[in-house]
Protein backbone atom coordinates (compact mmCIF):
# COMPACT_ATOMS: atom_id res chain seq x y z
CA UNK A 1 0.00 0.00 0.00
CA UNK A 2 1.24 3.52 -0.75
CA UNK A 3 1.69 5.95 2.14
CA UNK A 4 -1.07 8.52 2.61
CA UNK A 5 -0.82 11.39 0.14
CA UNK A 6 1.31 9.39 -2.30
CA UNK A 7 0.04 9.38 -5.85
CA UNK A 8 2.93 7.45 -7.42
CA UNK A 9 5.99 8.46 -9.39
CA UNK A 10 5.37 9.82 -12.83
CA UNK A 11 7.49 11.33 -15.59
CA UNK A 12 6.41 14.72 -14.23
CA UNK A 13 8.08 16.10 -11.11
CA UNK A 14 5.37 18.74 -10.72
CA UNK A 15 1.77 18.72 -11.80
CA UNK A 16 -0.91 21.24 -10.92
CA UNK A 17 -4.56 20.41 -11.41
CA UNK A 18 -6.96 23.33 -11.80
CA UNK A 19 -4.94 25.46 -9.42
CA UNK A 20 -6.74 28.62 -8.28
CA UNK A 21 -5.53 31.61 -6.25
CA UNK A 22 -7.72 34.66 -5.69
CA UNK A 23 -6.94 38.06 -4.21
CA UNK A 24 -10.38 39.44 -3.41
CA UNK A 25 -12.18 39.66 -6.74
CA UNK A 26 -9.01 39.12 -8.78
CA UNK A 27 -8.32 35.57 -9.92
CA UNK A 28 -4.52 35.75 -10.16
CA UNK A 29 -4.18 32.01 -10.92
CA UNK A 30 -7.22 30.73 -12.75
CA UNK A 31 -7.54 26.94 -13.12
CA UNK A 32 -3.92 26.45 -14.09
CA UNK A 33 -2.77 23.02 -15.26
CA UNK A 34 0.98 22.86 -15.64
CA UNK A 35 3.11 19.73 -15.90
CA UNK A 36 6.86 19.81 -15.54
CA UNK A 37 8.82 16.86 -16.89
CA UNK A 38 11.74 15.63 -14.83
CA UNK A 39 15.18 16.87 -15.86
CA UNK A 40 13.95 19.70 -18.05
CA UNK A 41 14.15 23.45 -18.00
CA UNK A 42 10.50 24.41 -18.21
CA UNK A 43 9.83 28.06 -18.75
CA UNK A 44 6.86 30.07 -17.55
CA UNK A 45 6.54 33.33 -19.42
CA UNK A 46 3.94 36.05 -19.63
CA UNK A 47 3.57 39.82 -19.27
CA UNK A 48 3.62 41.77 -16.00
CA UNK A 49 0.83 40.73 -13.67
CA UNK A 50 0.12 37.50 -15.59
CA UNK A 51 0.22 35.47 -12.35
CA UNK A 52 3.62 33.78 -12.71
CA UNK A 53 4.96 34.63 -9.25
CA UNK A 54 1.57 33.92 -7.66
CA UNK A 55 1.57 30.51 -9.35
CA UNK A 56 4.96 29.64 -7.84
CA UNK A 57 3.98 31.05 -4.44
CA UNK A 58 0.83 28.94 -4.46
CA UNK A 59 2.75 25.79 -5.42
CA UNK A 60 5.45 26.29 -2.78
CA UNK A 61 3.15 27.02 0.15
CA UNK A 62 3.88 30.75 0.46
CA UNK A 63 0.21 31.27 -0.46
CA UNK A 64 -2.65 28.87 0.24
CA UNK A 65 -4.50 27.77 -2.90
CA UNK A 66 -8.22 28.51 -3.17
CA UNK A 67 -8.75 25.47 -5.36
CA UNK A 68 -7.03 22.62 -7.19
CA UNK A 69 -4.15 20.30 -6.36
CA UNK A 70 -0.36 20.42 -6.44
CA UNK A 71 1.43 17.11 -6.95
CA UNK A 72 5.20 17.16 -6.41
CA UNK A 73 7.45 14.14 -6.89
CA UNK A 74 4.58 11.72 -6.42
CA UNK A 75 3.09 13.44 -3.35
CA UNK A 76 0.03 15.61 -3.01
CA UNK A 77 1.56 18.70 -1.35
CA UNK A 78 -1.51 20.93 -1.65
CA UNK A 79 -1.67 23.28 1.34
CA UNK A 80 1.60 22.06 2.92
CA UNK A 81 3.54 24.76 4.80
CA UNK A 82 6.51 26.27 2.91
CA UNK A 83 9.22 24.71 5.12
CA UNK A 84 7.84 21.23 4.49
CA UNK A 85 7.70 21.74 0.73
CA UNK A 86 11.26 23.15 0.81
CA UNK A 87 12.47 20.15 2.82
CA UNK A 88 10.85 17.77 0.34
CA UNK A 89 13.06 19.20 -2.46
CA UNK A 90 10.95 21.88 -4.14
CA UNK A 91 12.88 25.12 -3.67
CA UNK A 92 12.07 28.52 -5.13
CA UNK A 93 14.19 31.63 -5.43
CA UNK A 94 12.69 35.05 -4.99
CA UNK A 95 12.31 37.79 -7.59
CA UNK A 96 14.32 39.90 -5.10
CA UNK A 97 17.03 37.60 -3.63
CA UNK A 98 17.25 37.40 0.16
CA UNK A 99 20.64 36.01 1.18
CA UNK A 100 22.30 36.62 4.54
CA UNK A 101 24.01 39.75 3.33
CA UNK A 102 26.67 40.13 6.01
CA UNK A 103 27.78 36.50 5.67
CA UNK A 104 30.31 35.52 3.04
CA UNK A 105 29.31 33.64 -0.09
CA UNK A 106 30.77 30.44 1.37
CA UNK A 107 29.02 30.92 4.73
CA UNK A 108 25.71 31.38 2.91
CA UNK A 109 26.15 27.87 1.52
CA UNK A 110 27.36 26.32 4.76
CA UNK A 111 24.39 27.62 6.79
CA UNK A 112 22.05 26.03 4.27
CA UNK A 113 23.67 22.63 4.93
CA UNK A 114 22.94 20.47 7.91
CA UNK A 115 25.78 20.21 10.42
CA UNK A 116 25.47 17.60 13.14
CA UNK A 117 27.91 19.61 15.30
CA UNK A 118 25.07 22.03 15.96
CA UNK A 119 23.13 19.34 17.75
CA UNK A 120 23.73 19.58 21.52
CA UNK A 121 23.85 15.77 21.67
CA UNK A 122 26.57 15.48 19.05
CA UNK A 123 28.62 18.57 19.95
CA UNK A 124 30.80 16.82 22.57
CA UNK A 125 32.00 14.25 20.02
CA UNK A 126 33.98 16.83 18.16
CA UNK A 127 35.93 14.47 15.95
CA UNK A 128 32.89 13.06 14.19
CA UNK A 129 31.56 16.45 13.23
CA UNK A 130 34.90 18.03 12.32
CA UNK A 131 35.12 15.44 9.57
CA UNK A 132 31.58 16.28 8.59
CA UNK A 133 32.45 19.99 8.48
CA UNK A 134 35.38 19.27 6.17
CA UNK A 135 33.07 17.35 3.86
CA UNK A 136 30.56 20.21 3.91
CA UNK A 137 33.33 22.63 3.03
CA UNK A 138 34.40 20.52 0.05
CA UNK A 139 30.82 20.17 -1.09
CA UNK A 140 30.18 23.90 -0.67
CA UNK A 141 33.17 24.71 -2.90
CA UNK A 142 32.09 22.25 -5.56
CA UNK A 143 28.61 23.84 -5.54
CA UNK A 144 30.12 27.34 -5.84
CA UNK A 145 32.15 26.16 -8.85
CA UNK A 146 29.01 24.89 -10.53
CA UNK A 147 27.42 28.35 -10.36
CA UNK A 148 30.60 30.31 -11.12
CA UNK A 149 30.93 31.88 -7.66
CA UNK A 150 33.97 30.01 -6.32
CA UNK A 151 36.28 32.96 -6.88
CA UNK A 152 34.02 35.12 -4.68
CA UNK A 153 33.88 32.63 -1.79
CA UNK A 154 35.16 35.10 0.82
CA UNK A 155 33.12 38.12 -0.35
CA UNK A 156 30.26 39.31 1.84
CA UNK A 157 27.04 38.60 -0.06
CA UNK A 158 26.05 42.27 -0.16
CA UNK A 159 29.00 42.95 -2.49
CA UNK A 160 27.61 40.67 -5.20
CA UNK A 161 25.73 41.97 -8.22
CA UNK A 162 22.06 41.15 -8.87
CA UNK A 163 22.75 38.20 -11.16
CA UNK A 164 25.37 36.77 -8.81
CA UNK A 165 22.88 36.95 -5.93
CA UNK A 166 20.47 34.87 -8.00
CA UNK A 167 23.21 32.30 -8.53
CA UNK A 168 23.93 32.33 -4.80
CA UNK A 169 20.28 31.43 -4.28
CA UNK A 170 20.64 28.58 -6.75
CA UNK A 171 23.75 27.44 -4.88
CA UNK A 172 21.82 27.45 -1.59
CA UNK A 173 19.09 25.38 -3.23
CA UNK A 174 21.74 22.87 -4.36
CA UNK A 175 23.14 22.77 -0.82
CA UNK A 176 19.79 21.64 0.60
CA UNK A 177 19.46 18.95 -2.06
CA UNK A 178 16.70 20.51 -4.14
CA UNK A 179 15.16 18.38 -6.91
CA UNK A 180 13.04 21.10 -8.49
CA UNK A 181 14.26 24.70 -8.43
CA UNK A 182 11.91 27.50 -9.41
CA UNK A 183 13.82 30.59 -10.51
CA UNK A 184 11.83 33.80 -10.50
CA UNK A 185 13.36 36.07 -13.14
CA UNK A 186 16.99 34.99 -12.67
CA UNK A 187 18.16 37.32 -15.44
CA UNK A 188 16.01 40.33 -14.55
CA UNK A 189 18.22 43.42 -14.74
CA UNK A 190 21.29 41.39 -15.74
CA UNK A 191 23.35 42.32 -18.80
CA UNK A 192 22.90 39.97 -21.80
CA UNK A 193 26.37 38.37 -21.58
CA UNK A 194 26.03 37.39 -17.92
CA UNK A 195 22.36 36.45 -18.53
CA UNK A 196 23.55 33.88 -21.08
CA UNK A 197 26.13 32.60 -18.58
CA UNK A 198 23.47 32.19 -15.88
CA UNK A 199 21.19 30.22 -18.17
CA UNK A 200 24.11 28.08 -19.34
CA UNK A 201 24.90 27.20 -15.72
CA UNK A 202 21.26 26.24 -15.25
CA UNK A 203 21.28 23.89 -18.23
CA UNK A 204 24.55 22.32 -17.12
CA UNK A 205 23.17 21.75 -13.60
CA UNK A 206 20.12 20.10 -15.07
CA UNK A 207 22.31 17.66 -17.02
CA UNK A 208 25.07 17.07 -14.46
CA UNK A 209 22.92 16.81 -11.33
CA UNK A 210 19.70 15.57 -12.99
CA UNK A 211 17.76 18.55 -11.67
CA UNK A 212 14.59 20.14 -12.93
CA UNK A 213 14.11 23.88 -13.31
CA UNK A 214 11.05 26.06 -13.57
CA UNK A 215 12.26 29.27 -15.12
CA UNK A 216 10.05 32.35 -14.85
CA UNK A 217 11.07 35.00 -17.33
CA UNK A 218 9.83 37.72 -19.50
CA UNK A 219 13.03 38.40 -21.35
CA UNK A 220 12.11 35.77 -23.88
CA UNK A 221 14.63 36.88 -26.49
CA UNK A 222 17.42 35.64 -24.21
CA UNK A 223 15.71 32.88 -22.25
CA UNK A 224 13.65 31.00 -24.82
CA UNK A 225 16.56 29.11 -26.44
CA UNK A 226 17.48 27.65 -23.04
CA UNK A 227 14.05 26.10 -22.42
CA UNK A 228 12.90 22.58 -23.26
CA UNK A 229 9.23 23.39 -22.89
CA UNK A 230 7.30 26.60 -22.39
CA UNK A 231 4.04 27.68 -20.78
CA UNK A 232 2.63 31.14 -21.42
CA UNK A 233 0.34 32.81 -18.89
CA UNK A 234 -1.77 35.90 -19.36
CA UNK A 235 -4.25 37.32 -16.87
CA UNK A 236 -4.17 34.24 -14.65
CA UNK A 237 -4.57 31.64 -17.39
CA UNK A 238 -2.30 29.43 -19.43
CA UNK A 239 -2.90 30.66 -22.97
CA UNK A 240 -0.26 28.63 -24.83
CA UNK A 241 2.27 25.85 -24.33
CA UNK A 242 4.77 23.96 -26.44
CA UNK A 243 8.37 23.91 -27.54
CA UNK A 244 10.16 27.29 -27.69
CA UNK A 245 9.63 27.33 -31.46
CA UNK A 246 5.95 26.51 -31.23
CA UNK A 247 5.35 29.18 -28.61
CA UNK A 248 7.38 31.83 -30.44
CA UNK A 249 5.22 31.26 -33.52
CA UNK A 250 1.91 31.10 -31.67
CA UNK A 251 -0.32 34.00 -32.83
CA UNK A 252 -1.74 34.50 -29.30
CA UNK A 253 1.75 34.89 -27.90
CA UNK A 254 2.84 37.21 -30.68
CA UNK A 255 -0.21 39.36 -30.01
CA UNK A 256 0.61 39.71 -26.31
CA UNK A 257 4.26 40.50 -26.86
CA UNK A 258 4.15 42.54 -30.02
CA UNK A 259 0.56 43.47 -30.79
N1 LIG B 1 -0.38 39.70 -2.33
C2 LIG B 1 -1.19 40.18 -3.28
N3 LIG B 1 -2.35 40.81 -2.97
C4 LIG B 1 -3.17 41.28 -3.94
N5 LIG B 1 -2.93 41.17 -5.26
C6 LIG B 1 -1.79 40.56 -5.63
C7 LIG B 1 -0.86 40.04 -4.66
N8 LIG B 1 0.18 39.47 -5.33
C9 LIG B 1 -0.09 39.64 -6.63
N10 LIG B 1 -1.26 40.28 -6.83
C11 LIG B 1 -1.88 40.59 -8.13
O12 LIG B 1 -2.03 39.36 -8.82
C13 LIG B 1 -1.74 39.51 -10.22
C14 LIG B 1 -0.61 38.58 -10.59
O15 LIG B 1 0.59 39.06 -10.00
P16 LIG B 1 1.98 38.30 -10.11
O17 LIG B 1 2.94 39.00 -9.25
O18 LIG B 1 1.75 36.86 -9.85
O19 LIG B 1 2.34 38.50 -11.65
P20 LIG B 1 3.70 38.14 -12.42
O21 LIG B 1 3.29 37.38 -13.64
O22 LIG B 1 4.65 37.51 -11.51
O23 LIG B 1 4.19 39.59 -12.88
P24 LIG B 1 5.69 40.19 -13.02
O25 LIG B 1 6.17 39.73 -14.36
O26 LIG B 1 5.48 41.66 -12.98
O27 LIG B 1 6.52 39.69 -11.90
C28 LIG B 1 -1.42 41.00 -10.41
O29 LIG B 1 -2.60 41.64 -10.84
C30 LIG B 1 -1.00 41.46 -9.03
O31 LIG B 1 -1.29 42.82 -8.84
MG1 LIG C 1 6.54 38.02 -10.85
Report the chain's mean pLDDT, rounded to a whole number. 90
Pocket of ligand 1 contains residue 32 by CB under 6 Å? no
State in Å: Cα 78 to ligand 2 middle. Answer: 21
pLDDT attached to residue 98: 67
Q: Is 236 in the pocket of ligand 1 (CB under 6 A)?
A: no
- Give residue-wise pLDDT tens across range 122-151: 556 666 667 778 889 999 999 999 999 999
- DSSP letters along 81-123, please? -HHHHHHTTEEE--SS----TTSBHHHHHHHHS--GGGSTTTT
Where do the domains of the chain lie, and which CATH numbers do they carry?
1-89+179-259 (3.40.50.300), 100-176 (no CATH)
pLDDT tens digits, the chain, 259 residues: what are they? 455 566 667 899 999 999 999 999 999 999 999 999 999 999 999 999 999 999 999 999 999 999 999 999 999 999 999 999 999 999 998 766 566 788 999 999 998 886 655 555 555 666 666 777 888 999 999 999 999 999 999 999 999 988 898 899 999 999 999 999 999 998 888 889 999 999 999 999 999 999 999 999 988 889 999 999 999 999 999 999 999 999 999 999 999 887 6
Contacts (Cβ under 8 Å, ≥6 apart) of 109 = 140, 143, 144, 171, 172, 175
Give residue-wise pLDDT tens across range 35-47.
999 999 999 999 9
Rg (CA), the chain: 19
Which run of H or E residues covers position 29?
Answer: strand 26-32
Q: Note the pLDDT of residue 65.
A: 98
H or E element, residue 248: helix 244-248
Query: What 3-state class would DSSP assign to 155?
Result: coil
Distances (CA, A) of 221 to 187, 192, 227, 257: 12, 10, 12, 11
Which of 24, 28, 92, 218 to probe ligand 1 with, by most ligand atoms within 8 A of CB?
Answer: 28
Distance from Cα 257 to the centre of ligand 1, integer Å: 18
Q: In this predicted structure, what is the pLDDT of residue 144? A: 97
Amino acid sequence: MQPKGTVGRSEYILETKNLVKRFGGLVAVNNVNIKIKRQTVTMLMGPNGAGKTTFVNTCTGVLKPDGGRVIFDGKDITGWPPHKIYASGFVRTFQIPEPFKSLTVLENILVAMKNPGESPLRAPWKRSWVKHEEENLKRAFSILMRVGLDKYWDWEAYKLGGGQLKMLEVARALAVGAKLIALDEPIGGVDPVYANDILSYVRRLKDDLKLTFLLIEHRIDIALPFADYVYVMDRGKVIAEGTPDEVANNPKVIEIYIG
